[in-house]
Structure 1
Amino acid sequence: MRFIKIALLVVVLGAILLFAGIQYLLSQPAPEGFPILEYHMVQEANPDKAYEYNVPPAEFEAQLDYLEQQGYTTISIRDYLRAKKGLQQLPDKPVILTFDDGYETNYTELLPILEKRGLKATIFMVGNDIGKENYMSWDQLKDIQHRGVEIGSHTANHLPLTSMSLAEARDEVKLSKLLMEWNGMDTIYTLSYPNGKYDKELLDMLKEEEYLAAVTGDAGLNTFETNPYLLQRINIPHPLFGLTEFKWRLLKGRIMTQLGINQH
């Protein structure tokens, strides 16, 4: 019994300290930078084997409403890179919407929402999944790019690049890029690391393969000082607590930036 009481006291004290720490951080000036959000699916039917990756359309639109209320404007990674070179201006509060894997519902359900609202987005496509069941076809992929959605690479086979030799990793990023470009897609110059796994050798190799930017799974905010091959990204999974959870995840990006945890 005494042990249980001590354990409960430790938990309560920990919660109080955590709450006080968060309140202190929120009382400080907000850090510079903008969020990149990481989605996968936006579809009405929840997939049995990938439930956590799906944000239903109603929830997604509620998140978009909140971003609009907070003054955010969507941009593409290309916009960010051009602004970094002084070739264009960014809005006061930019945000980048990204979607990994290239599911067919990105075309059938997500695209109408984006077009209805006039929003920009970036989809990272797994090269060898194009045309497979539940993934976008070549015609859909070309059309969605033609209609203003930025397309990037999620490698050829969605394997963690750090789990293979550098030569094998080079093949993964090179083949996915060439496959899409040779099939009539506009130049592919951005990449999403599978499972968010990366190392320094990969950064140098991406430059050699003419990629200009890559996104991680490390939560935080981005500025022009952020390494373009290590862009911070906030994961947005299936919400268990509605819009409140979405706000928490945005807050996590701010706090991680303030604390300097995994910031690039």
Structure 2
Amino acid sequence: MPLPVLLFLAFVAWVLTAEPPAGFPILEYHMVTENPRPGAEKYVVSPADFAEQLDYLAAEGYTTITPQDYARARKGKQTLPEKPIILSFDDGYEDNHRVILPMLEERGMKAVFYVVTNDIGLPGYMTWNNLFDMERRGMEIGSHTANHIPLTTLPPEKQREELRLSKLMLEWKGLKTIYSFSYPTGAYDAGIVAMLAEEDYLTAVTGEAGLNNVETNPYLLHRVNIPPPHFGLTEFRLRLMKADIAARLDVRLAQLPDGVRMGIETLRAKLRGDE
């Protein structure tokens, strides 16, 4: 067997034999509909696949929580269930209210919906009345900025404007205090993380796979994207496994010498677009 293959297999074995930290996954969705608009197909899970995924999570003993539940648990004000999971939905598409909400309610589940405030009420997006209804029915509404621009492409004053205006608009319209945030395209840096705390957000989700617990930085919560499955429930299970493997990788990276670990983290940041 060629040496590169042997080294790769050794690396995989090294990662998989790590003891993963206790934690829960956050799943990232966008749309659930039978009729995706042209160009949006890679963000759409069909209602049939989504129903199968929800039923699988229930059968496996998962209990849905919201980011606010997690934030309260971090402060000792709430106890999380034995096997928690967060279902999150980005962008605020109209099917979130029309299709997803009834499917969640049917199973006694809840979720967080991160909305782009300047898209609210536009064709294909939820209306303000939809958002009020979602909140009344036990769902959490979070911010996905005002204009869905990758924050790392903006100067600091514009970054703060995106964070502040989206939160204020949602609250001025009558929604409950907005504490949760989703980075557009998953792009962030240390300055943006600091701004979120200054603007009174309590949690933020990234696009980086892994597991979360009360020790996780609440502004860098790990999340696994759920694309339209090509292999049914098997692919969904693999996505859940991805969170576990990523958590094991983080454990192994923490065991490396500082110089090596920092080099890898710098490379990851560049790949993520932070630098």
Structure 1 length-normalised TM = 0.90
1:151 aligns with 2:148: no
1:236 aligns with 2:226: yes
Match of 2:96 in 1: 106
Judge conservation of contact 1:47–1:54 (CA < 8 Å) in 2.
Answer: no
Judge conservation of contact 2:224–2:239 (CA < 8 Å) in 1.
Answer: yes
Question: Which residue type is aligned with residue 75 of structure 1?
Answer: I
Q: CA RMSD of the aligned region, Å?
A: 2.0
The equivalent position to 1:97 in structure 2, one of 77, 87, 92, is 87
Q: 1:241 to 1:21 in 2, by over 3 A?
A: farther
Q: 1:227 to 1:133 in 2, by over 3 A?
A: same
Residue aligned with 1:221, SS: coil
| Percent of aligned pairs sharing the same letter | 55
The equivalent position to 2:237 in structure 1, one of 238, 247, 256, is 247
CA distance in structure 1 between the partners assigned to 2:234 and 2:156 by the alignment: 41
Judge conservation of contact 2:93–2:124 (CA < 8 Å) in 1.
Answer: yes
Judge conservation of contact 1:189–1:213 (CA < 8 Å) in 2.
Answer: yes
1:73 aligns with 2:63: yes
CA distance in structure 1 between the partners assigned to 2:25 and 2:232 by the alignment: 19
Higher relative contact order (CA 8 A, sep 6+): 2
Q: Tell me the CA shift for residue 167 of structure 1.
A: 0.4
Matches within 5 A, 1:1-264: 14=5, 26=16, 29-260=19-250
Q: Tell me the CA shift for residue 46 of structure 1.
A: 2.9
Judge conservation of contact 1:213–1:229 (CA < 8 Å) in 2.
Answer: yes
Unaligned 5+ runs, structure 2: 254-264, 269-275
Judge conservation of contact 2:20–2:247 (CA < 8 Å) in 1.
Answer: no
Give the total of aligned pairs.
253
Question: Which residue type is aligned with residue 29 of structure 2?
Answer: Y
Q: 1:123 to 1:232 in 2, by over 3 A?
A: same
CA distance in structure 2 between the partners assigned to 1:62 and 1:203 by the alignment: 35
